[in-house]
A and B are shown apart, each in its own frame.
Chain A
Amino acid sequence: MSVRVGVVVFPGSNCDTDAMHAIALEGAEPVALWHESADLHGVAGVILPGGFSYGDYLRAGALARFSPVMRSVAAFAAEGGLVLGICNGFQVLAEAGLVPGALVRNRSLRFVCREVTLVPERLDSPFTVAVGERRPLRMPVAHGEGCYVADEETLAAIERDGRVLFRYAHADGTPASDPADPANPNGSLHGIAGVANAAGNVAGLMPHPERAVERILGSDDGRAIVASLVRSAAARAGGVAVVAGGAA
């Protein structure tokens, strides 16, 4: 039986179908989770997809945080369940305090919609195990509020504890850690594109791996991230240890 991975559908989500497609490509069964229901339908992992939940009113992600499904997702995360927030999903996780830091208006003040390069900083996390090696990954970003900020203390802690999962980078994989670096699309501090919670089972990622899962889309580098989640969820559901390495 294939592992079931849930995709939360908020009013205004617009990457939910893409996320479900990406999950299915990796051999898992995608399950749509409606925001007004607290039932997670026994899924082994959850994706909070991109979009503009609740119209991005007040602050991006701020209102979605209080939906019934998010109370269940928070409880699922507290029990060690795997949760990946992509773009608006990252904003929701940050607003909910499930990952450190916050996402504010891009330094350019412009909505950025283009392909970027990322480098994974960890190869052993549940969200990167299938990446295999430290290599540049190409995938799109599409956001107006993606500038990652956190106070000095938090930044020092997440760097020290290896909780930065992805950084924006140049084509050769050199990290774009400077907020003013043109390869850093939104001015994120330390070039942070993806970050995990202390326990390592919840991660937020600003770029869109689910939009880069087939060559015809320009890149299939996103598959390794989705495959990592599926594989890690399957391992947890089946009680099998996750082995790092191997291609997606």
Chain B
Amino acid sequence: MSEQPAAFRFAVHVMPKPGILDPQGRAVERSMPHLRITGVRDVRVGRRVELTVEAADEAAARAVVERLAADLLANPLIETYAVELVGALAPAAQGRPAAATESRP
């Protein structure tokens, strides 16, 4: 049973590096007065990518996500990324894990 691949749901958070200009964040800041919101600063706009990985164990799944994040999802020159496990799902053979259980707060 232990050889059966499992599925793991990950989230990859991609953010502009500190010091890299984030014009989207600045645009959000400039919109604050229109909402009459004050006291908010340092807005940075990033990206969250969720994906399901089938692998023998969490470490193997995480290695795939790390490679994907470093090579494609983020550009390390301008962005940082963080990989977060959001759920371990039922073995892939027993259903459609991606749709079955999306972790919700």
* Known contacts A58-B72, A66-B72, A109-B27; is-contact A147 B77 (Cβ 8 Å): no
Q: Contact at B78–A104, with CB atoms within 8 Å?
A: yes
Interfacial residues, chain B to chain A (CB-CB below 8 A): 20-21, 23-24, 27, 72-73, 75, 77-78
CB of A161 within 8 A of chain B? no
Q: Contact at A104–B21, with CB atoms within 8 Å?
A: yes
**Considering only CB atoms, which chain A residue lies closest to B49 in the complex?**
A58
Please, how many angstroms separate the alpha-carbon atoms of A119 and B62 in the complex? Answer: 47
Partner of B78, one of A63, A107, A108, A149: A149
A-B contact count (CB 8 A): 34
Please, how many angstroms separate the alpha-carbon atoms of A75 and B77 in the complex? Answer: 22
* Known contacts A58-B72, A62-B72, A66-B72; is-contact A107 B21 (Cβ 8 Å): yes
Q: What 8 pairs across the A-B complex have the smallest Cβ distances?
A: A102-B77, A102-B78, A105-B23, A109-B23, A109-B27, A107-B23, A102-B75, A104-B78
Dominant SS among interface residues on chain A:
loop
Q: Contact at B20–A104, with CB atoms within 8 Å?
A: yes
From 106 to 140 in chain A, residues with beta carbon under 8 angstroms from any chain B beta carbon are 106-109
**Considering only CB atoms, which chain B residue lies closest to A108 in the complex?**
B23
CB of A151 within 8 A of chain B? yes
CB of A200 within 8 A of chain B? no
Q: Hey, which chain A residues are within 8 Å of B77, CB to CB?
A: 101-102, 149-151
CB of A21 within 8 A of chain B? no
From 148 to 186 in chain A, residues with beta carbon under 8 angstroms from any chain B beta carbon are 149-151
